[in-house]
A and B are shown apart, each in its own frame.
Chain A
Amino acid sequence: MRTDEKILRIRDLCVDYRTDLETVHAVNGISFDLEKGETLGIVGETGAGKTTTALSILRLLPERTGKVINGSIEFMGENLLEAPEEKMRDIRGEKIAMIFQDPMTSLNPVLSVGEQIAEVLVLHAFKDKKKDEIDARTDEVLRLVGIQPERKKDYPHQFSGGMKQRVVIAMALACEPDILIADEPTTALDVTIQAQVLAMIRELKERLGTSMIMITHDLGIVAQTCDKVGVMYAGELIETGVLEDIFTGSSHHPYTTGLFGSIPNLKTKTDRLSPIGGLMPDPTNLPKGCKFSPRCPRCMDVCLSTQPKDAIQGTHTIKCHLFKDLKA
């Protein structure tokens, strides 16, 4: 389902969280494109800025603290950062929908699931439609995610975790959005349910031709669902490429190498995994040069003083001094 039509274009996005006491540099100049029907995986540790990126696209950053200080987010040629709020309200849910991390908290406990799905419909595509049409569409969406329509009158607490996540997905897909942002959609679920939910997301995405941004810290999920991958570290995309570049390519950013080193491998026998030493840098006080330099096993003098530039190799981009000369 991949075409060359760019549906989302993000350039140099920088997001800060500002309070009276400190400024947190959450996202520091990331750029990427999303094409129609394509799935982009964004992987990274907790606090790498993945969710902040997602919230910036929908302009849902916390009003008082979150500020986009630079860059552009173009959705079908329109810069969302300059769009009026009413326009954003039309886009949210209808054009760009989001699946939140925790289905236990992302459903309103006092509204029945049918009401919550109908809510999205009433706000957008089914604004002027009659009640029975909305009911019919609600049933259809529920069936799509494998829930009996009879259960739409139930409340969230009457569903299991996996079923709740299905409801959340049903809400996100109700208006058949152009882009689906899934923010760690399976983190709160147990492994068997994870597989079910992922298979379902993949199938529905194929069927509806939706583009997707899959935010996760699980490389396994990326391998299963994504076409392109971006590795995020301290608010930067340090390595991007198509799935093959990241998983089977020969050269990698030392951080990506470290990530793969901390996953158990079925084929080789090891007693211990090798995690990356240290912690993410304090986002209020980022290192001057390469953000990964304090933890990098191959750190050089130049890494401490100058920020690395993207080294581009076909579809593969690495932000590291080691690969300066790899330009093809």
Chain B
Amino acid sequence: MAIDRFPIDVAASVIADISSGIYRSPAGALKELISNAFDADASTVHISTNGPDFDTFTCTDDGSGLTAERFKEIMRLIGGSAKRDKGEFSPIFKRPLIGRIGIGILSIGQICRTFEIFSSAKGSPKKFRARIDLDPYMRPEARRIQLQARLQKDAKVKIGHFEIEEAEEEPDKHYTRVVMEKIIPGFQQQLRSQPMLGLGVTPKTFKKGAMADFLASVSRDTVSEHGAYAQLIWELAVTTPIRYMDGGPVRNAVKLKDLRTRMEDYQFRVYLDGVELYKPILLPQGTSVIHKVYANLNLDKQLSDSRALRIRGYLYWQNTRILPRELEGILVRVRNVGIGGFDSTYLGYPKHEGWKFSQLCGELYVDDGLDEAINIDRASFRETDEAYLSLQEFLYQRLGRETDQGAGIFTSIKSKADAIAKRRKTREAVERGKRSSEVIYGRPRQVKTEAATEPSPAGVRVSTNTIQIDEELLKQVPGRYRDLFVSVCAVVEKSLSSEVAVAKRRQLFEKLARLFSAQ
């Protein structure tokens, strides 16, 4: 019997689609430009969104820059360069390189279809301007071009074209500037949209000043209810390798000092519309909050394929809900860059832990071993990768079984929460008792105690508002028992004064004083 064979083909536009749609959100795309700047040893990155219109974006870094030749190389074969061929660290600040396969430039296609790049490399007397147009390759006719037909001629697929011009530049200048125009309408609309009614935060007053003000605004519930711009700030601030807010991530947590200084040592600053971004993590949230830091979530493990998995992290728990809700969960940072956001499922933790999930957050800095597991969007992981599975197992173990104290973190949280609940119950019971006795007997009268310098016949005198006790008697009683001694004396004097002789009462009080002094 004859078997018919047919080729399976895809349109070349699939590659263009992939190229323009790999990043989940505009922040994800801007994050890539920031990562490129970080790798290029930039000290500052300035991003402008031209809000409240949001129709032109710019991003400028003072990193090592590119020459026209290098840019052409990159653009002629996106994804064909290996950034880490010359080493794992940046030459000046010794930052661990984030980029790996050289597709960061494509991130701009997520925001707009045409853009200009200006760059000058350190030491070069030239700068270049390149205009990149991805538009023709996003049109419907591009879908009819068969990928296989292209691949038979050449192993590359065209996803856009660019024009490049050079001009003179001072050799000591080095930078890369991207100007993105004709921002994708949906994205613009999203940013311009009013947030939920009633919050009083409009796109024009989105920032509420510096990062601390922003955090105070969004910490009432969620970031998302403050609109897309607030979300953009949040995502950039959370995921990029910038410094923590003063005192962050956890105030006075000496054991987390290394994470704070690690970010400071990189000397990397990002500004969005003129405002400097910091990691918006500043815990505990409020002075009356009871909290605990699990500071040693560290792992150094050799994987079967000779990769080493190195993790440094922490978890933080507090007895109230963590806000904004976007901060609940665990954030995995690969080479200091957040992959996605805080994951409130704890990498799919298999058991239901109810309220504990909402009181817990943390970060895992993975310095080695997890690169291969990151999906192309750099916002999620390939969940079957060995390193990812090891990370997952490590986290589950820490949460469920082992901790610094030998019990699972969830168990530790449970006992801590139980202790707090028990203390609260006791306090409430005492309060309730006090309130009941007040209802039955009325409010206790305020009685003054006085040490009498002039001795009285019985040694104790009780009137409506005063208890007078001879100084000689009072001196014998240690301070901590004085209140009790005074109370006992007052009761005895009040109840026996009409039945027992003065001398006998005095003997009794002296005996009592001796008893208390012997304690």
- A joins B in a complex: no
